Structure formats: structure tokens, C-alpha cells
Amino acid sequence: MKSVPFTGEPLKALLTDVVTPKYVYSLMNSLKCGSVTNSEFPVLTIGTGTRQVLLIAGFSINDYRISNTLVYMVLNKCMNHVYPIPTFSASQLGNWSIRIIPMANPWPFSSWDIIRGKSGFYAIDDEGIPVRYDALTLRSRYSVKLHNIVHEVNPELIIMLIGSDKWSITTPELIRINDYNTEKPDPADFMHHFSYENYPTIILSIPKDAEMREIANEVVRLIKEYNVKPRDAKPLEVVVKVHGDIDNISNVLKLHGLLVSADGDKLIIKASNRSQSLLNALVDNGLIEYYFDVEISEIHLQ
């Protein structure tokens, strides 16, 4: 990968190398292509449908071709298919509002000239936090942005795109979709996290040598009618004794949609309809004590 400034032919630029978040933001604005928000953390929107789908990629700079493909698909639609790579169909854009987060961890994309060749920096933010695995503690500002956007958009479907050794389509076993294979979810991993908050999630794993045409074809194919089979979750109330910063821990848990109230040095935690599976996982697997400085005092079935 060789970083060079692209100005004249944006579609060719996206075929070639890493581009920065600010480049994507400026390019979309200059071409009046769909809508794009925030030059540091771009979110692209295309389509006028009432159904919401959210595409998320770019936790690592290694996935830059996936990120570029998503941007390319929007640009290609706006520019009337200048290049022969698939993009969203008219029927999809009439039925769906498609939002795209191409760089969920934008720092390595912004810093490529500095970190090139230093692979230890490829999947972290500017504070050294691996954003993909920060879905529970939300220490990175990018994790907070991503989490907030999902709650604001309230998508009917989330599609996570990640680089891998081979093609696969899976779903976290909490919410089965169609007949896709399932995988055991980890609430700390953004690939799985939102299924704990009752958002149907598809994980598209993409070989690192995949062509843009192949990636775009798979994305288009996944935005369609689907069947969902959620797993039942038992309603719990949990009381924890807090050893750390009670306000910070309470605020983070509330960001996850949990209902939290304080009683001295204890927190009483209940779940909303969306977050019941998350609370159960935090309790059943001891994760609430592992990730937060608390000790479980009481557990009550509701």
C-alpha cells in the first residue's frame, strides 16, 4: 500500500490505496453525493426507503479495501455507474435507507503516512485502544460514536464487514437470520455486540485478496428480505457493589440501554427489552465483574 494524494479521479483512487476520513467527507460534499456527516468519523447515507440498514467496516487499516468498496458503491451510484462495479439497486434504495460507516476506527486511516509498516498500530485508536474489542467498556471515543449512531439510527439490520482468510456469512447465535451459520457471540466484540441489544446482525467475512466487484456483489445480495429467530432471554435484576468510579460505571451501563439506579455504593441494574440478552451475558459469564470494577451482591429473576 502506497499513500499518495488523490484529486482528479476519485473512483480510481478508491481502487488503489488508503484514503483518509477527511478525503471521503470532502469528496462526498464536493460531488453532492448522498449525504455525509462528520469529517473525522464519516457516516454516508443513500436511499429513501423507510427500512434502515447499517453497514459497518474499517476497524483495522488492513480492511481498507472493504472500506473503499463501500464508499465506491455510493459514489458509483451518484455518478451513474462510471465504473463497472456493482452498486445498490433502485429497488433497494426505494425500500431501504442505507447508512454506511466505512471507518469505524478512523485513526489508522488518518495516520497512514505515519504508521505505515508498523502493524501494531493498524487496529488501535490514538490512545492505543483496540476499538473492535471495546464494545463493552466504551473507552474509545470512536466506540462511543459507533454505539450512539446505532441507537440513533435504530436499524432493522446491521451488516458487519471484516477481513478474513475466506468468505463466510454468519450471525451471532443470539439472533439467527435465515439459514446462515451461527457463531458464539462475545459482547465485548463489536462484530457481535449489537445482537445482545436485539439488533439483527450479519457478519460478512471477506478474503483479503477479494476483488471489489466480489465484495460489492455480496453486500448487494445481503440487503434483502430475511427471517429472524431470536433466542429467549430470562429477565434479571442485578445488584452490584461498586469498587471503582460509580458514576462512570453507571453511565457506561446506561449507554448500553440498561436501567441503572444507585443505592449508596451499590448499583441496581435491570434491562430494557432490547438489552436483556446483554445483561444476562454480563452476569452468566462473569463479564460484569471482569470488565467493570464491581462485585455481584444479588441476582433476582423478574
* pLDDT on residue 233: 83
Share of the chain above pLDDT 70, in %: 95
Task: Phi first, then psi: give them for residue 204, nearest 5 degrees.
Answer: -105, 110
- Cell numbers standing for residue 228: 429472524
Which residues on adjacent β-strands are paired with residue 10? none
Which pLDDT belongs to residue 12? 72
Tell me how many helices (H) and strands (E) the chain has.
Answer: 12, 14
DSSP annotation string for 211-242: -HHHHHHHHHHHSS---EEEPP---EEEEEEE
Secondary structure of residue 82 in the 3-state scheme: coil
- Range with the poorest average pLDDT among 32-36, 113-117, 128-132, 260-264: 32-36
Cα 126 to chain centroid distance, Å, stands at 18
Using pLDDT thresholds of 50, 70 and 90, give the confidence band for residue 4: very low
| pLDDT value at residue 81 | 60
Q: Which CATH class is domain 10-230?
A: alpha beta
CB neighbourhood size of 176 (10 A): 18
pLDDT tens digits along 244-299: 999 999 999 999 999 999 999 999 999 988 899 999 999 998 999 999 999 999 99
**pLDDT digit string (tens) for 195-211?**
999 999 999 999 999 99
pLDDT tens column, 144-199: 999 999 999 999 999 999 999 999 999 999 999 999 999 999 999 999 999 999 99
Quote the pLDDT of residue 83: 64
Decide the pairing of beta strands 181-183 and 168-172: parallel
3-state secondary structure of 58: coil
Residue range 125-138: mean pLDDT, rounded: 97
Q: Which residue has the higher pLDDT, 234 or 158?
A: 158
> Higher-confidence residue: 246 or 9?
246
Other C-beta atoms closer than 10 Å to the C-beta of 80 total 6
For 51-79, write each residue's pLDDT tens digit: 999 999 999 999 999 999 999 999 888 87
pLDDT of residue 2: 38
- Distance, C-alpha 275 to centroid of its chain: 17
DSSP letter at 195? G
236-301 topology per CATH: Alpha-Beta Plaits (3.30.70)
* pLDDT reading at 3 higher than 70: no
**Per-residue model confidence (pLDDT) at position 1:** 41
Domain-wise residue ranges, the chain: 10-230, 236-301
The C-alpha atoms of residue 281 and residue 67 are separated, in whole angstroms, by: 31
